[in-house]
Every structure is written in structure tokens, then in C-alpha cells.
Structure 1
Amino acid sequence: MSANQEIRTKIKSIESTKKITSAMQLVAASKMKKAQELMMQARPYALDLKSIVDRLMLSDIAADHVLFQHRPIKKVCYIVLSSKRGLCGSLNLNLFKKVLGEFVDQEKRGVAVSAVLIGQKAMHFFKNTELEILAALDPNGDTPSLQELVSLMGLVLTAFESGDIDAVYLVYNDFKNSMTQVPAIEPILPLVRNNSDFTVIKKNQQKSWEYLHDTSASKVLDMVFTRYIEARLYQAVLENFTSEQASRMMAMKAATDNAKSMINDLKLIFNKTRQAAITQEIIEIVSGASAIM
């Protein structure tokens, strides 16, 4: 195969790849927009639920609730969210690096570490490690269903209430904008009253609220606090999925741009090689004609 034929083959191959990356960029952009809308729609529910929880924290019975129990930390659990698919840049790797640093810090303090993994990439990354995995979820779709998340969080809450784990952290990619996604690690259990929010509520509240409820106060608190924890997990899943699509969109854009650059470079080389071949042929013809004359 001549040099020009090899270059033509490379150009066709890269053009084919460029079509794929360009299509994936468009798909990721569309998914990111939908995910961002869903994420924004879910935020009011989470904020209103947080407001209810903040007010319930004013009651003495809330302070005695099991989810507020701060005990010596002997074992912690990290709920690690990751993408189902790859081709999204260094999004997952940056998150895993951050959480591995947390694992090392916890072990230095003599704290045992366990994890709940959500997404194929987290499952593949941690499967050959010595990390204790309490549960793993590989959703059928792009993200876990609400029922799957509720079931998973039920296992975590049971482990916390029974004393098997003493603290729970949520690990996900926090979506800032299409260019920026930040690995985040947030404590979700035990529940902690935000002192600044508590002060504002007390200041704006002339009288303490007395809630009327059909069932016992403890059951109401169980339901509200559980829904609050589930809402935080669901919001984190939406943030992480939006981050995944944004990162994939940018990665595919970079791949498409690189493909265009490579094609232009190869076309330039092809034209130079072709021009050199034509020039050589002309020289040979002229030389042959001169020899005959």
C-alpha cells in the first residue's frame, strides 16, 4: 500500500470516529439539559423538606431521635455514586481519588470503612480492593429508580440504627455548570442541627410551634427524617447524573475537535506527498525527454 493510500485510510477511519463522537456529544447535551431540568424541579421539594426538618429540630423529642445519636466513631459507611458508562473524562477517577484519600484518613484514625456502591464504574473500581461493600446497585437505566434508592437507603438506616455503622457520608459529583463538576463528600448521618439555621428560626419564631398529629410524635419524626435522608440521596443522584452528561459532552467535544485537527493535518500531509509525487513524475518526464534529444 502506498503512502497516500495509507493516509486516505487513516482519514476515513478518523472521520468515522468523528461522526460517532459528534453524535455522542449531541446526545449528552440533550440528556444534560433534561437532567438539569429534573434536578432543578427536585430542589424545591428538598428545600421545603429541609425547612420542615429544621423546625422539627426545635423540639426536645427530635434531639433524642436515633438519627441524631452521636456516638464514638468506630465504623463509617460511604455511599459512592458513579456513572453507569465511561467516556465522560476524568469525572469518576477524580471522585474515586478523593474518596480513597478519605478512606486512608479514616483508617489512620482507627476507623473501619465500608461502602455502598451505586453505578458500574464504582463497582468495577472497588471490586478488587479490600473495601467492605455493604451493598451495590447497578441500575438498569441511566440512574437508579426512586424505589431502588429507598430500598438501598433502608439498608443503610437499619445499619445505623442498629449501631453497625456510626456515621454515613454521601460521595458524588456536585454539578456547578457544564464546565465545572466538583467531587463532594457530605455527612448525612447522624443528623446535625445547623446552628445558624436554628438561630434564624428561633429569631423569626415568636412562639414555639405545637404540631398536631394523628399518630405518635416518634412515628412522625421517623417518617419525616427518613424522607429527608432519601431526598438528599435522590438529589445527589440527579446532581451526579447531570455532572456525568456535562463531562461526557465536553469530553466528546474535545474528541471531535481533536479528530478535526488530525484530519486537517493528514490532509496537509496527503497533499504534500501527492504534490511531491507529481513533481517527481514531471522531473522524470523532463529528464527522459532531454535524454532522447
Structure 2
Amino acid sequence: MPSLQSLRRKIAAFKNTQKITKAMKMVAAAKLKRSQDRILCARPYAHKMRRVLSNLSRRVNRSSHPLLQKREGIKVEVLVVTSDRGLCGGFNGNIVRKSSEFVRQCESRGLQVNLSIIGRKGRDYFRRRSWRIRQEWTGIFDKLSFEHAIDIGADLTDNFAKGSFDELYVVYNEFKSAIQQRVIVEKLFPVDAQVEFGSAQMEGTTGGSYLYEPEEAELLDALVPKHFQVQAYRILLESAAAEHGARMAAMDGATRNAGQLIKKVTLYYNKTRQAAITKELMDIVGGAEALK
């Protein structure tokens, strides 16, 4: 039977843990509000820009711009977006499981797969595996800005243009609500109009062309890299908001669990203390009876 002192220490430790998890929940809730506002503002612009570029890619000569070219290659790159910190429930676990499954599917089709990692948790996981990591970015979610998306977009577009890979897929958590995220596998390179509009609408397209001002090549040179920067920024915002939501939910559950443990151990402490008092009383009564 544990001593009363050890039980008191255990109760104090549970209470301290509960204070920490409650504070982390409040911090995550405050960060979630800011991240949610940012993604709700950025998401419509990013979706509309993707739709515009997908529509444009149907009507231009795709070979006129290196970022629109479709290649029949076997080199695939997977961009995995995780968090830099833990204590956010199954946020990172769902990402690495989905990424590993997708990579194995690609390898089973005879494709060569390289990884680019955003976030320390994904980097640490895949470093212990046999898959090759081409590039990694860590520590960007503390002060997330559009400059991070510019750096990531420039690296990806340059390597795609140089032929380092023929297709790029990104695996990330899409923010749905404070308690719900969805793991998404999305194709970024090259732009696929059929994915955006669907095969039925593609078959019904009558063709046609645009009048460009400035010239088509100049417009594509400005619009296409900007599109990938915007999509990278949207993905980072989605992941940041989903991470804060997952952490808030995880810390809320941890706070409730700590409260239940405090009640359980406190009840056991009271029973143990009462048993000790009863034993002492019985010893006193027994001693008094022996003196008679």
C-alpha cells in the first residue's frame, strides 16, 4: 500500500499537470483564432487563382512555359507538411501514415520518390527511414509569413523546371473546424485542369482562346510562379490552423483526464487515510483493553 505522503505528491503532480494543459489549451485557442482568420481570408483567393490558372492552362500551349509541361517521367516528389512541436493529438501521426502509404503506392508503380519536409516532426520521422529527403524547412510556423511561401515556392518551381522531378504532390492537414482536420493528398505540379474542372466539363469545353495584354509568355512568367507561391502559403496556413485546433482539442482532453485522475487518487487517498486512522484507533482500544 502506498504511503500517504506519496499519494499527496501524486495528487500535487496531477494538479500541476492540469494547470499546464489548461494553459496550453488557452494559448492554442488564442492562436487558433488568429490562424483561422488568416486561412479564411486567404483560402478564397488561392482557390480562385488555382481555378483561373487551370482554366488558362487548357487554352495555352503548355510547352510554352516550363511549369506547365506534362512529362512522362518516373520521378515524383512528395511535400510533407507537419508541425514543429508535438502535443497535438494525432495531427502528425495521421500525416506520416498517409505520406508513407502514398510513397509506397508510388514505389509499387515503379516511380522514383523523393521527399521534401516541412516541420521538425516529419523530418525526424523520415530521417529514420530509408526514403531520400531532398529538402527540409523547420521553424517557420512560429512567425509564419508569405516570405516563407516565396522561399518554398521558388525552390519547388526551380527544381521542377530543372527536371529534378516530374510531378509534385503535397500531403497536409486541411483545416475544417477547431476539432476536425482532414488529411489531403494534392497534386501541385504540373497544373491539371481535369482535376479542377472534372472530366465531364473538360469534354464539353469548346476551346477558344484569349486576347492577351501583355503577351502570353510574359503573362505566364508572372502568373504561374505567383500561383505556386499562393498555393504554398495557403497550405502552410491550413496546416497551422489545423495544428492549433488539434492541440487545443488534445489539451482539453488532457485537462479532463487529469481532473478524473485527481478525483480517483484523492478518493483512494481518503480511503487509505481513513484505514490508517481506524487501525490506530483499534490499536489504542486494544491497548486499553489489555491494561484492564
Both proteins in one fold, TM over 0.5: yes
| Match of residue 16 from structure 1 | 16
TM-score, normalised to structure 2, is: 0.90
Q: Is the 8 A contact 1:79 1:115 kept in 2?
A: yes
Q: Distance in 2 between matches of 1:243 and 1:92?
A: 11
Deviation at 1:289, TM superposition (A): 2.2
Deviations along 1:42-76, one digit per CA (max 9) or x if unpaired, are: 12321332343244235333574332322213111
Structure-2 separation of matches of 1:118 and 1:179? 22
Q: Following the alignment from structure 2 to structure 1, what is the Cα–Cα distance between the partners of residues 74 and 9?
A: 61
Is the contact between residue 25 and residue 250 of structure 1 (CA under 8 Å) also seen in structure 2? yes
Report how far residue 106 of structure 1 moved: 1.2
Where 1:87 maps in the other structure, the secondary structure is coil
Aligned residues: 291
Equivalent residue, structure 1, for 2:212: 211
Q: Is the 8 A contact 1:61 1:218 kept in 2?
A: no
CA distance in 1, matches of 2:226, 2:219: 11
Deviation of 1:141 after TM superposition, in Å, equals 4.6
Paired position in structure 2 for 1:85: 85
The amino acid that maps onto 1:59 is R
Are the structure 2 counterparts of residues 201 and 211 from structure 1 closer, same or farther at C-alpha, using a change threshold of 3 Å?
A: farther
- Contact 2:58/2:193, CA 8 A, preserved across alignment: no
In structure 1, C-alpha distance between the alignment counterparts of 2:198 and 2:2, rounded to whole Å: 74
Aligned pair in 2 of structure 1 residues 70, 57: CA closer, same or farther (>3 Å)? Answer: closer
- Gaps (5+ residues) in structure 1? none
2:247 matched residue in structure 1: 248
Letter matched to residue 212 of structure 1: E
Q: Which amino acid aligns with 2:268?
A: I
Rounded to whole Å, the distance in 2 between the matches of 1:18 and 1:198 is 53
Matched residues in 2 for 1:68 and 1:13: separation? 58
- 1:267 aligns with 266
Is 97-106 or 41-50 further displaced after alignment? 41-50
Give secondary structure in 2 for the equivalent of 1:67.
Answer: coil
5 Å matches for 1:128-207?
128-142=128-142, 144-194=144-194, 196=197
> Would you say 1:112 and 2:112 are equivalent positions?
yes
Residue by residue over 1:198-228, the C-alpha shift from the partner in whole angstroms, topping out at 9 and shown as x without a partner, is: 98799999x8542322xx3212112212111
Tell me, which stretches of 5 or more residues in structure 2 are unaligned?
none
- Tell me which moved more, 148-157 or 101-110: 148-157
Distance, in Å, in 2 between the alignment partners of 1:168 and 1:260 is 46
- Say yes or no: does 1:288 pair with 2:290: no
Q: Amino acid of the residue matched to residue 256 of structure 1?
A: T
| Cα distance, 1:54–1:111 mapped onto 2, change above 3 Å | closer
Q: TM-score, normalised by structure 1?
A: 0.90
RMSD of aligned C-alpha atoms? 2.6
Matching residue of 2:32:
32
Q: Which residue number corresponds to residue 5 of structure 1?
A: 5
Find the aligned partners of 2:166 and 2:22 in 1 and give their Cα distance: 47
Q: Distance in 2 between matches of 1:240 and 1:116?
A: 15
Contact residue 143 and residue 237 of structure 1 kept, 8 A: no
Please report how far the alpha carbon of residue 192 of structure 1 lies from its aligned counterpart in structure 2 after TM superposition.
0.9
The alignment partner of 1:49 has SS state of helix
1:2 Cα deviation from its structure 2 partner? 6.9
Kindly state the Cα deviation for residue 287 of structure 1 after the two structures are TM-superposed.
2.0
Looking at structure 2, the residues matched to 189 and 106 of structure 1 have their Cα atoms a distance apart, in angstroms, of 16
Whether the 8 Å contact between 2:140 and 2:148 is mirrored in structure 1 is: no
| More displaced 10-residue stretch of structure 1: 43-52 or 55-64 | 55-64
Instruction: After superposing the two structures, state which structure 1 stretch, 72-81 or 58-67, moved more.
Output: 58-67
Measure how far apart 1:4 and its partner are. 0.7
What letter is aligned with 2:265? L
Query: How many Å apart are 1:284 and its aligned residue?
Result: 1.9
Q: Provide the rounded CA distance (Å) in 1 between the counterparts of 2:72 and 2:41.
A: 38
How far apart in 2 are the matches of 1:153 and 1:134? 15
Distance in 2 between residues matched to 1:79 and 1:181, nearest whole Å: 18
Per-residue deviation, residues 52-103 of structure 1 (Å, max 9, x unmatched): 3244235333574332322213111111111011111121111101111111
* Matched AA of 1:218: A
Note the alpha carbon deviations across 1:254-282, whole angstroms, 9 max, x for none: 11111111111111011101111111222
Equivalent position amino acid for 1:235 in 2: R
Between 175-184 and 27-36, the greater mean CA deviation after superposition: 175-184
Residue range with higher mean Cα deviation, 137-146 or 107-116 = 137-146
Deviation at 1:143, TM superposition (A): 5.3
